[in-house]
Homo-oligomer: A and B are copies of this chain.
Amino acid sequence: MATGRTHRPATRSRGIPEATVARLPLYLRALTALSERSVPTVSSEELAAAAGVNSAKLRKDFSYLGSYGTRGVGYDVEYLVYQISRELGLTQDWPVVIVGIGNLGAALANYGGFASRGFRVAALIDADPSMAGKPVAGIPVQHTDDLEKIIDENGVSIGVIATPAGAAQQVCDRLVAAGVTSILNFAPTVLSVPDGVDVRKVDLSIELQILAFHEQRKAGEEASPDGSGPAAAPKDTSGQGPDGDVPAVMPA
Q: Are A24 and B79 in contact (CB under 8 A)?
A: no
A204, B22: Cβ atoms closer than 8 Å:
no
Task: From known contacts A181-B215, A190-B26, infer whether A240 and B158 are also in contact, taking CB-CB under 8 Å.
Answer: no
Q: Which residues of B contact A36 (CB under 8 A)?
A: 240-241, 247
A68 neighbours in B (Cβ, 8 Å): 243
Interface size on A, residues (CB 8 A): 121
Which of A107-115, A122-130, A144-152, A170-178 participates in binding chain B? A107-115
Please encode chain A, from 1 to 43, with 1 for each CB lying within 8 Å of some chain B CB and 0 for all others.
0110010100111110000011011101110110110101000
Question: What chain B residues lie within 8 Å of A190 (beta carbons)?
Answer: 26, 30, 50-52
In the complex, what's the smallest C-beta–C-beta distance from A216 to chain B, in angstroms? 3
Bound form: Cα–Cα A68–B205 in Å:
24
CB-nearest residue of chain B to A107: B103
- Per-position binary interface string of chain A over residues 186-205, scored 1 when its CB falls under 8 Å from any chain B CB and 0 otherwise: 00101010001010101111
Q: In the bound complex, what is the Cα–Cα distance between A24 and B91 (angstroms)?
A: 38
Chain B positions within 8 Å of A88 at CB level: 209, 212-213, 216
CB of A87 within 8 Å of the partner chain:
yes
A244 CA / B86 CA spacing, docked (Å): 13
Q: Which residues of B contact A153 (CB under 8 A)?
A: none
Shortest Cβ distance from A194 into chain B, in angstroms? 13
Q: Is A72 an interface residue (CB 8 A)?
A: no
Bound Cα distance from A248 to B115, whole angstroms: 9
A207 to B159, CA, bound (A): 12
Cβ < 8 Å to B, chain A residues 85-118: 85-94, 96, 102-104, 106-108, 110-114, 116-118
A-B contact pairs, 18 of them (CB 8 A): A3-B214, A14-B225, A25-B209, A35-B240, A36-B240, A64-B240, A78-B236, A81-B234, A88-B213, A103-B103, A104-B107, A107-B107, A116-B246, A117-B205, A118-B212, A155-B226, A198-B215, A200-B211
A interface residues with partner B (beta carbon < 8 Å): 2-3, 6, 8, 11-15, 21-22, 24-26, 28-30, 32-33, 35-36, 38, 40, 50-52, 64-68, 76, 78-79, 81-83, 85-94, 96, 102-104, 106-108, 110-114, 116-119, 155, 157-158, 181-184, 188, 190, 192, 196, 198, 200, 202-219, 221, 225-226, 228-231, 233-252
